[in-house]
Chains A and B, each alone.
Chain A
């Protein structure tokens, strides 16, 4: 247990520093959110209609960008070998790595999500739900992205490949979270979508590490 706590601290610190850390992800997020009014036009009604969805999609993309090198560095510098040669099951190690990623990158992005949504014209009352969806969705994105990052270890053009692998898997959380936000904006019951998003996020936490560990073992062999 002791060593897993140490690993979580290390992974969070590394994710915080990796490629500029959360600041870069948040800056990317802000950039995409700025592009939308530039592309669509500044009319408030039009923007407000797409604001929650746009903030949500931009969040998925920003999480993806920070994920691509989740395993790559450890794979190249030999740390992954050492992480495997341990009494801790590799599945648990992968889970901890994704959790660290989520704490260092997912959580700051989630804090930025309501700001982006309100900036685009969403109702400020939706901010708590946007934050909650972004936290849960970020968990699902981190674990799905971890699968893609582990599978594309050692590949040519790893980053782009990770995105191609992961984007189809992002469909359910995008739909559930977007549905909850959309329903809230329209004054409809939103708990259904939110509950589905939560269930999906927990399922990825439970199942994702199995695929990640298998992919890591394969990449090392």
Chain B
């Protein structure tokens, strides 16, 4: 554990750090979000997609971040499993609902975007399908955690599942892409292809950073909440013992 940043592995220092970092990230998220959306709503209409291209600025960063959150979840799970580190466990527990929420946002905005683009709310595009499977894995993680009464066992079982999911996700992504080439279905519009014009790219990147900051802020707030909850429970146990 010695190699882990001391300010993150020590709960006191973490609380001191997150106390100012969480609001700061929140401010960055709001500022960049407003800026990115303003830029996004002022881009010229896409010659192909018209107005609807603007959903991209909400959808694509959500799709980026939900994968990133899973990486965070897996790393936190690994640390809590190997080093039995309580803070890493709190971080994993706090990350999962956020990941599910961002994944849900990506799915919903993807569906809303799909309606004008593909003429259907849902098409079995490879990208959408892997995001859907990712959503199911988040749900499985949350369900497993909620169904085990013993908190220590719940956190370790959930951590094992998070790591199994982490090994599987690249395979799932590959298999879904393989499946998609097998069944040439709807024409797939590549929203984030390399041909994206800079006028679209900048707001997209700004929104990406805004989402990242929003996740960082919410994550820290949720970890703090988790630490407080556990401290309160420990105090209650001590009182009960008398």
Interface residues of A (CB under 8 A from B): 147, 151-152, 154-158, 161, 164-165, 167-169, 171-172, 175-176, 178-179, 182-183, 193, 196, 200, 207, 211, 214-215, 218-219, 221
Contacts and interface: CB of A to CB of B under 8 A. Distances in A.
Contacts of B172: 168, 171-172
A158 B149 CA distance: 12
A211 B157 CA distance: 10
Nearest to A218: B156
A171 B133 contact: yes
Given A172-B171, A179-B182, A165 B144 contact: yes
A154 B153 CA distance: 9
Given A165-B140, A221-B153, 18 more contacts: A151-B144, A154-B148, A154-B150, A154-B153, A155-B148, A156-B147, A161-B144, A168-B168, A169-B168, A171-B175, A172-B172, A175-B178, A175-B179, A179-B179, A179-B182, A196-B178, A214-B160, A221-B152
Contact of B157 (A168, A183, A219): A219
Please list the 7 inter-chain residue pairs (A to B) with the smallest Cβ-Cβ separation, ordered nearest first: A155-B147, A172-B175, A168-B136, A175-B175, A218-B156, A175-B179, A165-B140
A182 B172 CA distance: 19
Contacts of A168: 133, 136-137, 140, 165, 168, 172
Contacts of A207: 167
Contacts of B81: 214
Nearest to A167: B136
A218 B161 CA distance: 12
Interface string B150-194: 101100110011011101100110111011001100000000000
A218 B182 contact: no
Measured as residues with beta carbon below 8 angstroms from the partner, the interface class of chain B is: 20 to 34
Most buried by B among A158, A161, A200: A161
7 contacts: A151-B161, A156-B149, A157-B147, A161-B147, A172-B174, A218-B153, A221-B153
A147 B137 CA distance: 14
A40 B137 CA distance: 30
Contacts of B157: 151-152, 215, 218-219
Contacts of B232: none
A90 to B, nearest CB: 14
A171 B157 CA distance: 21
B147 to A, nearest CB: 4
A151 B147 CA distance: 11
A218 B160 contact: yes
B34 interface: no
B39 interface: no
Contact of A219 (B153, B161, B174, B179): B153
Contacts of B160: 151, 211, 214-215, 218
